[in-house]
Structure 1
Amino acid sequence: MEYIRYYESPLGRILMSCDGKALNGLWFVDQKYCALTLSEEHQEKNTAVFDRASEWLDIYFQGREPDFTPPLAMKTTPFRKKVWEILLTIPYGQTMTYGGIAGRLAAEKGLSHMSAQAVGGAVGHNAVSLIIPCHRVVGTDGSLTGYAGGIDRKVKLLTLEKVNMSSLFVPKKGTAL
């Protein structure tokens, strides 16, 4: 059985899901792919997992770096899981590029290169937003692209973390990425 609970954040309502032991979903309710991995059979219930995740979110939205990660269960493919594990290594207040993640994956697999587009797809389908920090991934040129929660939210999250935004930009509409 999966359980859900809502969290009211300064950037919009968040839906959390868990299996009772670990968090397996955290989405802004209006974001792309919201609840994509949530099973049809679920019920709203308070759990210790949600209490821990809410504590993490409270600290985060106060502009501080949480010093713990709630228990996570990644319901995804092996490739996406590897990408999400890399996302967990991006330090608070810093960014990494899609190409940087692709290069790291290629090196780990002994390959000459890996598709940054494939990495982008995995990042975009991250089911545990914020805690697995997909908002910290930017384009190689500094473009703020590809956040399922919306670019405006991405800017606010990076600003909250005091990321140096001087070399980052939002692409103009119609610009090829």
Structure 2
Amino acid sequence: MKKNKMVKLYKKRINTPIGEMLAVATDEAICMLDFVDSKNWLKDQEILVKHYGATQVDEDSLLLSELEKQLREYFAKKRKEFSLPLALVGTSFQEEVWKVLQTIPYGEVRSYKEQATAVGNPKGVRAVANANGKNRISIVIPCHRVIGSDGTLTGYASGIERKQFLLDLERSNV
């Protein structure tokens, strides 16, 4: 749903053990967290600007500072869940897929088929994988917890190495 009034988008670069990330938020919610070397991050920023009719600014915000704090805690194995308001910007199907992602417990994985079944579309494995690939809030919305039915690591827009790192981090802290 497109907003009528102009919204300010704040952005901040955040360093993590697996690369620099760009975070974007409104005054009310986080709307993007992605690695700066991701193939989608520039396009995703454009989508958010268009969706909100917004002007981006390079200033920090309290919400982005809290996100950075929670990410530091996550990578230090002191946080298993994020408690941040999120703004999901996608189709209704994508938003449903992203909500289901948030129900996968820390340290566990699900197959794309299990995720497709959880959204009520057991034959929609490809559609689910595509929606996962459009997730703009990496790590917080844990698409890294979805793997192939045979246990292989597949389909992580920010790279399989990062997916492996995140899964290993979580498994070592369960």
The two structures share one fold, judged by TM-score above 0.5: yes
**Which residue of structure 2 aligns with residue 69 of structure 1?**
83
* Aligned partner of 2:117 among 83, 103, 109: 103
CA shift in 2, pair 1:49/1:35, >3 Å: farther
Runs of 4+ with deviation above 3 angstroms: none
- Deviations along 1:31-67, one digit per CA (max 9) or x if unpaired, are 1311433227311111111011111101111123344
**Within-5 A mapping of 1:1-20:** 1-20=8-27
**RMSD, aligned α-carbons:** 1.7
C-alpha distance in 2, partners of 1:115/1:67? 28
The percent identity for this pair of structures is: 36
CA contact (8 A) 1:37 1:75 kept: no
* Aligned partner of 1:49 among 56, 63, 73: 63
Q: Which residue type is aligned with residue 113 of structure 2?
A: G
Question: Does residue 31 of the first structure (1) align with residue 38 of the second (2)?
Answer: yes
Shift of 1:71: 1.0
**Which residue of structure 2 aligns with residue 158 of structure 1?**
167
**Within-5 A mapping of 1:67-146:** 67-106=81-120, 113-146=122-155
C-alpha distance in 2, partners of 1:122/1:163? 28
CA contact (8 A) 1:3 1:18 kept: yes
CA contact (8 A) 1:24 1:127 kept: yes
**Which residue of structure 2 aligns with residue 22 of structure 1?**
29
C-alpha distance in 1, partners of 2:71/2:42? 18
Q: Which residue type is aligned with residue 161 of structure 1?
A: E
SS of 2:43's equivalent in the other structure is: coil
C-alpha distance in 2, partners of 1:35/1:97? 29
Shift of 1:2: 1.0
Q: Which runs of 5+ in 1 are unaligned?
A: 165-177
Question: How many residues were matched structurally?
Answer: 159
CA contact (8 A) 1:64 1:161 kept: no
C-alpha distance in 1, partners of 2:74/2:35? 15
TM-score (norm 1): 0.84
Q: Which runs of 5+ in 2 are unaligned?
A: 1-7
Greater helix share, structure number = 2
C-alpha distance in 2, partners of 1:8/1:70? 19
